[in-house]
Amino acid sequence: MNGTLYKREMKGSVKLLLIFGAVITLYVTIITTMYEPEMMATLDSFYEVMPEMMAAVGMKAGATSLIGFMISYLYGFILLVFPMVFCILRGNGLIGRYVDRGSMAALVAAPVRRSTIACTQMSVLVSGIVLLAGYTTALEYAVAESSFPGELPLDQLLTVNTGLLCLHLFLGGICFLASCLFSDAKYSVGFGAGIPALMYVLQMLANSGGKAENAKYFTAFTLFDANGLAAGETAALGGAFALLAGAVVLYAVGITVFCRKDLHI
Amino acid sequence: MRVIDIEKLTRDYGSGKGIFDVSFQVNEGEVFGFLGPNGAGKTTTIRHLMGFIKAKSGRCTIRGMDCWQERCKIQEHLGYIPGEISFFDDMTGTEYLKFLAGYRRLKTANRMAEMMDRFELDPKSKIKKMSKGTKQKLGIVAAFMHDPEILILDEPTTGLDPLMQSRFVELLAEEKSKGKTILLSSHIFEEVERTCSRVGIIRQGKIVTLDSVEALRKRHVRAYQVTLESEALARSFAADFGGSCQGRTVTVAARQSLEDIFMHYYGGGDHDERDPV
Ligand SMILES: Nc1ncnc2c1ncn2[C@@H]1O[C@H](COP(=O)(O)OP(=O)(O)OP(=O)(O)O)[C@@H](O)[C@H]1O
Ligand SMILES: [Mg+2]
């Protein structure tokens, strides 16, 4: 780790973190406070009318507990997509963009190992993801406690959000690997943004049921089962662990590739 | 002592592009001029030296250390000006230099202030908004501020005005007198003439000539022998044209300017070292 580089890059993350933090604050506050039996009935009636639409974004009818409600309406789109976009933007900006523009020359033309550079940049990405997940958890708990004291079991929330963190670390790993692998911004952005986005689309397809359900075998989002995690199911915990293990592999491969590749800068 | 040692370095980009069997050495305390037309392979060679790309065949070392494997250690004593400078656009010049000092973990007060004075650099504005010359000056300060013993400079004066170019030449002369080893890639003959003791010329990826500036000059001296009617006439002819006189025969030598000599290698001309095209 190079402290100076880490500080500079974290400064570069601040703006994005604030933006995504604000968006998440908005949605989490609004949606969580919407938890009301009557409101639930309204949303359930939406589901009656257009079940495919609602299922596609991960919303299911009949969530009765607060955590079930939150999983239905927050963990299908908002808490999946916004941190994912953060991973895409930051993942590309940390390595790929510097190589494409040539400013990586300043970093490698110094007595700093390439592995140190890559590890530092990875830490910046992971820090951002952890900060977002930590903030989301604290916010959810605070909002739930202030509106519905005692309704949200902390241990369930922590399990679900740890799983969510593993998912985003995995998605971040894909972006990071693409960033390390390709020297051309066209490809590092293309793959870094394309693969996670495609996976999300497949997840939506799979959720809408029918034959399309087979799409779930082609997307990492399947491994994140929020309801299962809340219930403490072993399969769901295993999925989260698989995501974490995958993330470790992706980052390790990314760092190795960066150390060995030719830099035409 | 050899500081930079390149042996049979080859990098084939296909369709005749790249570098082929490039070998040369730069000795301690020497300023080596690396010349050649656009696309000849200067930057490619330098990328190998910097450890940016791995040698496909052949090898290059700096102070005996492999440029790819021991690139981190080599960088401790190396200053580099890239051919195409690209900084972090979001920073100001001051922030960038401060960042680099921290990034390189420089402890002692370095030469940053001295270099900024010398090139009249005002680093306070955003790098994105700097003029080309100002960016180049920033690159120079960044390369020299840790007072490196080896300098690899890829067209270091592009974009500088003539006054700054001449200050840069002075700087190189000073560094040379301090015993620094310098590899200078350049398109400016005057700069090379004023600083380099030895030059290598690369064309289409191959080294076409490698010699000291003096030897190059000698090789390109054209001598004419003139026989005059009387010895007295011969003596005065020799005196007027700076020739040497033997009886009625006078030998006069026309020194070609270095520029003409370089151009000869650039264009390919009709010398015998020409590559088959
Ligand atoms: N990454 C690459 N892929 C393919 N070809 C390349 C690559 N980098 C350089 N080349 C080719 O190799 C040749 C040598 O390029 P190089 O940049 O070394 O030239 P140069 O001597 O520095 O030229 P200049 O004086 O214009 O800076 C050129 O023909 C260039 O097109
Ligand atoms: Mg070049």
What is the model's pLDDT at position A58? Answer: 60
Domain identity same for B168 and B260: no
Confidence class for position A60, pLDDT limits 50, 70, 90: low
Please provide the average confidence, as pLDDT, over all residues in chain A.
91
The residue behind tokens 């593993």 is A166
In this structure, the residues whose C-beta lies within 6 A of any atom of ligand 1 are: A 264; B 13, 17-18, 36, 38-44, 83
A12 or B108: which leads in pLDDT: A12
B255 or A259: which leads in pLDDT: A259
Domain identity same for B104 and B194: yes
The residue behind tokens 């590092």 is A188
State mean pLDDT over A218-233.
91
Residue A3 tokens read as: 């402290």
Domain identity same for B190 and B105: yes
Alpha-carbon gap: A185 to the closest alpha carbon of chain B (Å): 15
Domain boundaries, chain A: 3-260
Is it the case that residue A119 has pLDDT exceeding 70? yes
Instruction: Give the integer Cα–Cα distance in Å for B51 and A256.
Output: 16
Q: Please choose from B9, B10, B13 the residue to mutate so as to test ligand 1's pocket, defined by most ligand atoms within 8 A of CB.
A: B13
ipTM of this complex: 0.86
Domain extent, residue B262, equals 218-273
Domain identity same for B99 and B185: yes
Amino acid of residue B223:
A
Domain identity same for B172 and B225: no
Chain B residues inside the 8 Å CB shell of A106: 86-88, 100, 142
User: SS3 of A193, please?
Assistant: helix
Count of the separate structural domains present in chain B: 2
Domain identity same for B172 and B257: no
- Of the candidates A164, A134, A157, the residue with the CA atom closest to the CA atom of residue A69: A157
Alpha-carbon gap: A90 to the closest alpha carbon of chain B (Å): 15
What is the model's pLDDT at position B268? Answer: 60
Q: Please choose from B19, B43, B186, B262 the residue to mutate so as to test ligand 1's pocket, defined by most ligand atoms within 8 A of CB.
A: B43
Domain identity same for B38 and B169: yes
Pick from A34-43, A180-189, B97-106, B241-250: least confident: A34-43
The residue behind tokens 């009886």 is B247
- Domain termination site, one of B169, B192, B212: B212
Nearest chain B residue to A116 by CA distance is B72
Amino acid of residue B247:
G
Chain B residues inside the 8 Å CB shell of A110: 75, 100, 103-104
- Distance from the CA of A263 to the center of ligand 1, in angstroms? 13
Domain identity same for B14 and B82: yes
Chain B residues inside the 8 Å CB shell of A3: 102
Kindly determine whether residue B54 and residue A105, on different chains, have CB atoms separated by under 8 Å: no
Domain identity same for B166 and B196: yes
Task: Give A215-224's long-range contacts (Cβ < 8 A, gap of 24+).
Answer: A220/A167, A220/A170, A220/A171, A220/A246, A221/A80, A221/A167, A223/A167, A223/A170, A224/A163, A224/A164, A224/A166, A224/A167
The residue behind tokens 């990314």 is A254
Alpha-carbon gap: B195 to the closest alpha carbon of chain A (Å): 24
Domain identity same for B245 and B205: no
- Of the candidates A45, A130, A143, the residue with the CA atom closest to the CA atom of residue A86: A130
Residue B48 tokens read as: 């190998």
Nearest CA to ligand 1 atom 19: B39
Domain identity same for B169 and B223: no
Beta-carbon count within 10 A of B151 CB: 22
User: One digit per residue, pLDDT tens: chain B, 277 residues?
Assistant: 899 999 999 999 988 899 999 999 999 999 999 999 999 999 999 999 999 999 999 999 999 999 999 999 999 999 999 999 999 989 999 999 999 999 999 877 678 899 999 999 999 999 999 999 999 999 999 999 999 999 999 999 999 999 999 999 999 999 999 999 999 999 988 889 889 999 999 999 999 989 888 888 777 777 788 888 888 888 888 888 888 888 888 888 877 777 787 888 887 654 444 444 3
- Which alpha helices (DSSP H) does chain B contain, by range? 42-49, 71-75, 93-103, 112-118, 132-144, 162-177, 189-195, 213-219, 231-241, 258-267
Q: How many residues does chain A have?
A: 265
